[in-house]
């Protein structure tokens, strides 16, 4: 059965590395759910074409290519959140994700679940991580602020996983 993607993307941010390359359900649920702080229409969190190089034997006719390193397009636009008067950023609330990545060169771990579950549902063992891992933030960019105040941050992927299942706690 096909499922609408509307409200189904869960972004989770960890400020400390998971114990293993694939995080456990406990680690993910302890992280910051930034799904409601990220602009859906501008989120790019995906694999892109891998590096390729020609690798053909001398006897082959035509081209033969081999896959090189994986590449990713990882950028999120954060919707800024402020406290009621007198104001200031809601550091402990919805603006916490932006606060964690706003300094250029910050290392964090961000994971995307895109399934038939609502983004508000907790992670469970067996959930599929579409793409996630260690990323380094670039400087925030001021983007079109029609509507809400927002900042776009591009991330430099360091150690990524794709299409893997979340490990159970203690595994």
Place of tokens 């400087």: 139
d(CA 41, CA 33): 18
Cα maximum dimension of the chain: 74
pLDDT at 169: 78
pTM of the model: 0.89
Q: Look at the chain and count its residues.
A: 171
Residue 153, burial from CB neighbour count under 10 angstroms (0-12, 13-18, 19+): buried
pLDDT at 94: 80
pLDDT at 3: 63
Report whether 37 contacts 81 (CB < 8 A).
yes
Neighbours of 21 (CB within 10 A): 13
Secondary structure (3-state) at 10? strand
What is the pLDDT tens value at each position of the chain, 171 positions in all?
Answer: 666 677 789 999 999 999 999 999 999 999 999 999 999 988 999 999 999 988 888 898 888 989 999 999 999 999 988 777 666 777 777 889 999 999 999 999 999 999 889 889 999 999 999 999 999 999 999 988 788 889 999 999 999 999 999 988 765
H/E stretch holding 53: strand 52-54
Report whether 123 contacts 147 (CB < 8 A).
no
pLDDT at 141: 95
pLDDT at 85: 66
Check residue 65 and report its DSSP letter.
Answer: E
């Amino acid at each position: 059965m096909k499922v609408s993607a509307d409200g189904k993307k869960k972004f989770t941010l960890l400020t400390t590395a998971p114990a293993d390359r694939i995080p456990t359900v406990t680690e993910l649920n302890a992280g910051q759910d930034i799904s409601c702080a990220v602009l859906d229409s501008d989120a790019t969190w995906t694999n892109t074409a891998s590096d390729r190089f020609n690798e053909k034997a001398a006897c082959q006719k035509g081209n033969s290519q081999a896959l090189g390193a994986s590449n990713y397009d990882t950028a999120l636009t954060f919707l800024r959140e402020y406290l009621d008067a007198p104001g200031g950023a809601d550091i402990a609330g919805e603006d916490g994700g932006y606060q964690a990545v706003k300094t250029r060169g910050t290392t964090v771990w961000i994971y995307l679940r895109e399934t038939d579950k609502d983004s508000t549902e907790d992670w469970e063992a067996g959930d599929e991580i579409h793409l996630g891992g260690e990323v380094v933030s670039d400087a925030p960019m001021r983007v079109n602020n029609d509507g809400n105040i927002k900042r776009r941050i591009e991330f430099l992927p360091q150690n990524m996983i794709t299409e893997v299942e979340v490990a159970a706690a203690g595994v």
